[in-house]
Structure 1
Amino acid sequence: MASDPTGGIIATIFGTAAKGLDYFGSAAKIRRDSPELIKHNVANYIAMEAAKDHVERLRQGLIEEQLKPDGRKEPYIYGLELVDLNQKADALQKEMNVSKSVQHALEVLQQSKSEPTEEQIDPDWSFKWKDYASHVSSDEMRMLWGKILAGELERPGRFSFNTLHVMSRLGKNDAEIFLNLASLATWETERAFLITEDNIFYEYGVPYLTQLELEDLGLLLSAGSVRRFKDGYWFHIGGGQAIVIKNKGDKTPEVHTKLFTQAGRELLNLVQADANLDYFQKIGACVANKLKCEFIIAKHIQIEGTRLRWSRDTEIRIAPQ
């Protein structure tokens, strides 16, 4: 049997796939050429599917029934050839995973309204991204890896190597838990955190054991902290909204929090979950009553320097009882 039972199909496909990933230069160049790139990537994926089907049929052909002296029939496998085909099938699946993630990245870049950069991403980062993305088969996770690639292309250095490593440890269920966590998160320029007052977030899908899992995955810091807010202090929540603290007493309001890690903060920007307003209203009532302050959920916000403006008609204002 020939050394390559696929007749060179695999080598051709891998060469095409490698060219597709190496094409990435800058976000600006990709956006200019995105229709051509998307067309190329779709054609490449279809070709890989056909090649994988071809390999599967070859694998099945390497299993025959062999008649034993006692009359029993047992399967006989051409061992080395089957091992070779299994390796090629695995390699093809990895390339298909990468191709799908690349497709999602191209679509994100094509629809993005941000100003594209001419700066290129680090080749080592690109290599590491491809390695991690090659092991992801669910479309939901491929989409997340595609968003990471698109984000890095738009702003090289946006996602650290550590964030790639943390992301590679997340399964589909972990990603769903983190998406829920993102709906409960608050953040400032340099940090992101959960308000843990009275452990209200336990009721919203983040019980103690889930916290431990998120800490082990490298998304949350294990130690808690205390945040103190000056009068009029504000911070972001999901959906383009904000929380504003208005001091009504003599003491500076302070709340117990749990901080996200750097990787957690970077992934928060990736998922962009809408805020769970039911949760924030419960948190608001708790904080307002305990700290004698006004807790405002501001919608339709506009940021002017360090000042925040919002629509008074749509705000949710929670006063101490």
Structure 2
Amino acid sequence: MTAPDLSYTGAYLDRLGDRRHTPDWLAARLADERARAVAVWRGQVVVVAERACGYRALGVSGARLRGIGFGPEDCAFLGLEDGVPVFAFDLSDHEPPALAALDPAAEALDLRRVGPALPRRDAQVLAYARALLHWHRQHRFCGRCGSPTASERAGHLRRCTHPDCAREHYPRTDPAVIMLVTAPGADGEVCLLARHARLPERMFTTLAGFVEPGESLEEAVAREVWEEVGIAVDDVRYQASQPWPFPGQLMLGFRARARPGAIVPDGEEIREARWFTPAEVLAAGDWGDESAAVQLPRHDSIARWLIRSWAEGR
């Protein structure tokens, strides 16, 4: 199966996992005059607006990074992009004027807001940076003994500093299934979309949920659909995956066929769910379109891709 062109994917970087454990090699990459770094500030990505109403990632040179006090131990090495070393650094401990010091036009914005307006390569790099740096901030202390941890291997490992513990902690990614449930309708295929309690009132999207210990992905799909809307499914088929750095999920996309039965929303996570025809999906508005009776998820999400690809017969 050919991977679709989903936001935050692309594998543009050569991550060089076999080299980043060498401190001298890492220092040489940061000293490379071509090196650049992207920044995250308190969960938001640092970008610069472009004239054509788009954005680009703020790229800070390695020399500039060293000049403001960030060394190899303070950065995460993301990889090489066309031979150019790419790093990420966290400005969360600095106040907003630090952004202007880097570039007067720099802004810290929610990646979900600017993702569709970024070049695909920038979106992928910023998603990687956001997820990795969030993990660092959440694992500053050892989960076994409570001692501080220190970054190693170019930001891809944190080690407990207590000599009697020295536990290694690796970046965490949580698998979550996201599924479009379909069924035969009176005039053709229909799909099931739901209004989640945490989303805007007219926003309908796919069902989704985290994979629990001891279950397969297919079992997680069936369990989540049953728990959320009371529909049993079969013929669960994988479609595509997408890293979702909010804060650190891997979304595993599926389609599933509904067995006959009535929709029964759980009333907690799901407020409403109903069947939609392809024409209804294609006529729906975008997130935030106040004139639309039905809004669909953001364009950068795999949920939107699952819905649109089905409606368009792909």
TM-score of the aligned structures, taking structure 2 as reference length: 0.28
Structure number having the greater strand percentage: 2
> Which one has more relative contact order, counting CA pairs under 8 Å at least 6 apart?
2
Name the larger-Rg structure.
1
TM-score of the aligned structures, taking structure 1 as reference length: 0.27
